[in-house]
Amino acid sequence: MGTGEPDTDEAGPPLPSMRVDGQVALVTGAGRGIGAGCARALAAAGADVIAMSRTAAELDAVVARITAEGGTARALVCDVTDTAAMQAAVTGLGRLDICVNNAGIGRPGSLLSYSPEDIQAMLDVNCKAMVLVAQAAARVMVEQGRGVIINLSSTFGKNGRPFNSVYAATKHFVEGFTKSTAVELAPTGVRVVAVGPTAIDTPMTHDRLMEPAVGGDLLARIPLGRFGKVSDVVGAVVFLASPAASLITGTTLMVDGGWTAQ
C-alpha cells in the first residue's frame, strides 16, 4: 500500500523539477570526458559541485569553465583508489546530496594475454573504489535521510564484448551492486541508480571510434545510427539526480541508442 494523501488538485499534480538548486554534488573522475560533463551539467542545474580526480590541472580547467558559465564548483584532488584519503575527503564535505560515481578505467585485451596488473587495475578502480566511494557517500546521506548515488555502468554491463572481458565483468558488477544497495538503502531515503552509456565520442575516444574495425562494429550495433555524445549522458545524470526521478531507484538508465534493446 502506498502512503500519503491522494492528489486532489483539479489542475493536476505539479510538474516535477529537474533543478538541483543548492544541492551538493560530488563527481569523481571529473577532470575530463563524461565526468567533466556531469560536473558542468549539475552546476548548470544549480548544484554546488565538488569535482574530484587525480589531476589538479584538469580539475582547475573544469572549475574555471563552470565558474565562467555562472556555476559554483571547487576542485578536490584525490585518487579514488587511495581509500583513506578519499573517505576523509567525502566525510569532510559535511553534506552530500548527489554522488556521481564516475571514475573508471578500461584496458581492452585478450583473455589469453591479459596481464595480472591490467586485471587488478580495472578491479581496483571499477569495482573496489566504486564500492568504497558509494560507501563513504552513503554514510553521509543516511545521516541526512536523503541523497542519490549515480553509478556509471555501460552497455557492457548488459552484454558481453570480445577483448573486453574484464571491463565487461566490472560493469556487470556495477549493475548488481546498484540493485542490491538500492534495496538496502531505500528505507533510509537514499536512492541508488546507474547510467549505461554506449560508445561515447570524446577527444580521448574519437580516433579509436573512427577506426573501421572498432568503431564500425560498434556503430553497427546502435539502432539510432550514431555514437553517443557527452551531452547525451549528462542529461540522464541530471534527470536521475533531480526531484523528477524521486521514485526511481535500483535500475539503470541506458543511454545506448537502442543497443541493449536487441
From first to last of its 262 residues, what are the pLDDT tens digits of the chain? 565 565 555 667 788 899 999 999 999 999 999 999 999 999 999 999 999 999 999 999 999 999 999 999 999 999 999 999 999 999 999 999 999 999 999 999 999 999 999 999 999 999 999 999 999 999 999 999 999 999 999 999 999 999 999 999 999 999 999 999 999 999 999 999 999 999 999 888 899 899 998 899 999 999 999 999 999 999 999 999 999 999 999 999 999 999 999 9
Q: What distance lies between CA 73 and its chain's CA centroid?
A: 18
The label of the residue with cell 541506458 reads 254
pLDDT for 13: 75
- CATH fold group of domain 24-261: Rossmann fold (3.40.50)
Domain ranges of the chain: 24-261
pLDDT for 203: 83
pLDDT for 46: 98
Q: b/e per residue, 224-247, with b = 16+ CB within 10 A?
A: eeebbebebbbbbbbbbbbeebee
- For residue 82, the SS3 value is coil
CA gap 221, 219 in Å, rounded:
5
pLDDT for 8: 52
Q: Active-site residue numbers?
A: 167, 171
